[in-house]
Amino acid sequence: MTDPQIAIPSRAPSATSADDTVMPFEVAALDLRGRVVRLGPLVDEILARHAYPQPVAKLLGEALVLTVMLGSALKIDGRFILQTQTDGPVRMLVVDFTTPGKVRACARFDKDRVAAAIEAGTVDGGALLGKGHLAMTIDQGADTSRYQGLVALDGGTLEDAAHEYFLRSEQIPTRVRLAVAEELRAGQGGASHRWRAGGIMLQFLPKAPERARVRDLDPGDAPEGVVPHTLPEDDAWVEGQTLVATVEDVELIDPALSSERLVYRLFHEPGVRVFRGSPLRAECSCSRGSVEAMLKSFSQDDRDHMVEDGKISVTCEFCSANYVFAPGEVDAKPS
């Protein structure tokens, strides 16, 4: 039997960041598990293509990291969809993760309100989102039921919403850190920008039932606004949270710091074991066939309204692919 406190390296840790990967890890001595997400070309491709205002792009980048973190943990084949719907300048964020590693994302926002927020300097995630909810949906295909988890967004960030979700819905103490930034590179044609993003998730999953029971305590019917009485937190979880709180944004996106070195930096004392990471790529799942099926599901009246210059043109909101149909092509089949 191997000592869980000793990490057994199966290969030398990579010195530099392996971009567009998610790497699970375990700190057995503290009953902690987690994942590190590093996004390079993937996040740059998606955000550069949309060319949203900078704070909107940054917020969508955070949603991308969070989606990859959660979606890549699924044990099933299917799609994980993270979607916000709020009353702030950024009305909607949608990120799709299709197993094993396909990602796409888009945002809807109010141009004038975003411009006003930039002018006023109120561009943090919570201010841009405003109030509403964050929905997380697992879709395993046409003939299966969808599972949806909902959490309120109340002026807080996506990190706050993730903590709330895991505490309320999963009863798993969780810390999430998300970071997105533009990297400036000097080049021959002048400086160029590239988006980078990264994140770390840490969860406390004790095996001992008496420690598990602490986290299962129901806060009861405390009136709103009253902080429910909670037992003192487990020492291992306190230590885990303290360590993850020391992670700086730059460490999550630094191309010169690998995921392995980051978790080693944090957890070398209790010992950490890393697992094989999985690769991710930006790829849309739209197709002429799926757009055609969608158009056929509309009423004739709706389709008639879509005809312009004798054709129906549909542009994918995720990848900007354009599909053009002759009106007769998408008539619903006679039943």
Binding site for Zn ion (CB under 5 A): 284, 286, 316, 318-319, 321
Cβ proximity to Zn ion: between 152 and 321 the closer is 321
Cβ proximity to Zn ion: between 150 and 293 the closer is 293
| Helix, strand, coil tally for the chain in percent (to 5) | 35, 30, 35
Residues 48/306, Cβ–Cβ less than 8 Å? no
Cβ proximity to Zn ion: between 189 and 289 the closer is 289
Cβ proximity to Zn ion: between 144 and 290 the closer is 290
Residues 201/34, Cβ–Cβ less than 8 Å? yes
Cβ of residue 103: shortest distance to Zn ion, in angstroms?
Answer: 12
Cβ of residue 111: shortest distance to Zn ion, in angstroms?
Answer: 22
Cβ proximity to Zn ion: between 101 and 240 the closer is 101
> HSE-up of 147 (CA within 13 Å, CB side)?
8
Cβ of residue 53: shortest distance to Zn ion, in angstroms?
Answer: 22
Cβ of residue 318: shortest distance to Zn ion, in angstroms?
Answer: 4
- Per-residue DSSP letters for 242-275? HHHHT--HHHHH-TTS-HHHHHHHHHTTT--EE-
CA distance linking residue 33 with residue 204, whole number of Å: 7
Nearest Cα residue to 257 out of 70, 13, 93, 35: 13
Cβ proximity to Zn ion: between 67 and 86 the closer is 67
Cβ of residue 335: shortest distance to Zn ion, in angstroms?
Answer: 29
Backbone angles phi, psi at 195, to 5 degrees: -80, 140
CA distance linking residue 255 with residue 257, whole number of Å: 6
Question: Reduced to 3 states, what is the DSSP secondary structure of residue 185?
Answer: strand
Pairing of strands 21-27, 192-204: unpaired
Cβ of residue 52: shortest distance to Zn ion, in angstroms?
Answer: 16
Secondary structure E strands in the chain: 21-27, 32-39, 79-86, 90-98, 102-109, 131-139, 147-154, 174-185, 192-204, 273-274, 278-279, 281-282, 307-308, 311-315, 322-325
Cβ of residue 98: shortest distance to Zn ion, in angstroms?
Answer: 12
Cβ proximity to Zn ion: between 80 and 318 the closer is 318
Cβ proximity to Zn ion: between 169 and 320 the closer is 320
Residues 271/7, Cβ–Cβ less than 8 Å? yes
Cβ of residue 280: shortest distance to Zn ion, in angstroms?
Answer: 17
Chain Cα centroid distance, residue 219: 28
